[in-house]
C-alpha cells in the first residue's frame, strides 16, 4: 500500500499540472488573437468611406443650390432693372425664375435627406470608432495580464515537473507503469480511496476478499468496477 499512497501524491501533482497546462493552452490561443478588432477596423474604414461619399454629395448639392440661387438673382435683377419693357420678355423671365426656383427647391429637399443621412453615418462612425478604441485598450490590457499569468504558470509548471520527477522516482517502476496506463483511460485519474469497502469514485462496494488484498498488498489493486487503483483509508 505504500506505493499506492505515493501514486496518490503523484496523481495530485499530475492533476495540478494538467490544470495549469490546460490554462496555458487557453492563454496561448488568446495571446495575439485580436478577436473582433479586425472586423471593427474594417467597419470603421467602411463607415469613413461612406461618410466621405455622403459629404461629397452634400458639397455637390451645396454648389448646385448656390449656382441656382445665383441664376435666380440674375434673372430677378434683370426683371426689376427696368431694362425689360416687353411684356413677353418679362413673362419669359418670370417663367425662368419660377423654373429655376423649383429646381432649387427640389435640390434643397434632396440636400435635407443627404444631411440626415450624413448625420446618421457620422454618428455611427463616431460610435464605432469609440468602440474600437475601447476594445483595443481592453485587448492590450488583457494581453498584458495573460502574458503575466503565462509567466507565472510556466514557472509553476517547471517546479511541478521537477516535483513530479522526484515523486515518480519513489514509485516502483512496475507500479508506475500501471498508474500511467490507468490514468490514460480515466481522464487523468488513477487512484481512488476505498472507504468501508466501497470505492469512493464509482460508489460500488468492493468484495471483501479484494478489500483485504487492497489493505495488505504493497502493489496497486484495481477496483473491480471502475478500474481505478484502490487506496484503503
Statement: the pTM of the whole predicted model exceeds 0.85:
no
Mean pLDDT by 10 residues, the chain (233 residues): 86 97 97 96 97 97 97 90 83 92 96 97 98 98 98 98 96 94 95 96 96 92 96 91
46 and 135 fall within a common domain = yes
57 and 131 fall within a common domain = yes
What does the pLDDT read at residue 4? Answer: 92
What does the pLDDT read at residue 78? Answer: 86
CB neighbours of residue 229 within 10 Å: 26
- What nine digits make up the cell of 30? 488568446
In total, how many domains does the chain have? Answer: 2
How many Å apart are CA 125 and CA 51, to the nearest integer?
Answer: 8
What does the pLDDT read at residue 112? Answer: 97
Check: CB of residue 130 under 8 Å from CB of residue 15. Answer: no
Q: At what angle do helices 37-79 and 87-168 cross, to 10 degrees?
A: 170
106 and 155 fall within a common domain = yes
What does the pLDDT read at residue 1? Answer: 54
104 and 194 fall within a common domain = no
Amino acid at each position: 500500500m505504500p506505493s499506492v499512497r505515493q501514486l496518490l501524491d503523484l496523481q495530485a501533482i499530475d492533476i495540478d499540472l494538467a490544470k495549469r497546462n490546460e490554462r496555458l493552452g487557453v492563454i496561448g490561443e488568446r495571446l495575439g488573437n485580436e478577436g473582433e478588432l479586425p472586423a471593427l477596423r474594417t467597419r470603421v474604414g467602411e463607415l469613413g468611406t461612406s461618410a466621405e461619399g455622403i459629404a461629397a454629395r452634400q458639397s455637390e448639392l451645396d454648389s448646385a443650390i448656390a449656382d441656382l440661387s445665383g441664376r435666380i438673382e440674375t434673372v430677378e435683377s434683370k426683371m426689376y432693372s427696368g431694362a425689360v419693357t416687353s411684356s413677353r420678355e418679362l413673362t419669359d423671365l418670370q417663367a425662368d425664375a419660377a423654373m429655376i426656383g423649383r429646381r432649387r427647391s427640389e435640390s434643397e429637399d434632396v440636400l435635407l435627406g443627404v444631411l440626415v443621412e450624413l448625420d446618421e453615418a457620422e454618428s455611427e462612425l463616431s460610435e464605432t470608432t469609440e468602440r474600437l478604441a475601447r476594445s483595443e485598450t481592453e485587448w492590450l490590457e488583457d494581453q498584458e495580464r495573460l502574458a503575466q499569468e503565462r509567466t507565472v504558470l510556466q514557472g509553476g509548471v517547471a517546479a511541478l515537473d521537477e516535483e513530479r520527477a522526484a515523486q515518480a522516482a519513489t514509485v516502483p517502476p512496475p507500479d508506475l507503469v500501471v498508474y500511467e496506463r490507468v490514468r490514460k483511460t480515466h481522464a487523468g485519474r488513477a487512484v481512488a480511496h476505498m472507504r468501508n469497502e466501497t470505492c469512493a469514485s464509482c460508489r460500488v462496494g468492493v468484495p471483501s476478499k479484494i478489500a483485504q488484498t487492497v489493505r495488505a498488498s504493497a502493489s496497486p489493486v484495481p477496483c473491480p468496477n471502475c478500474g481505478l487503483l484502490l487506496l484503503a483509508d
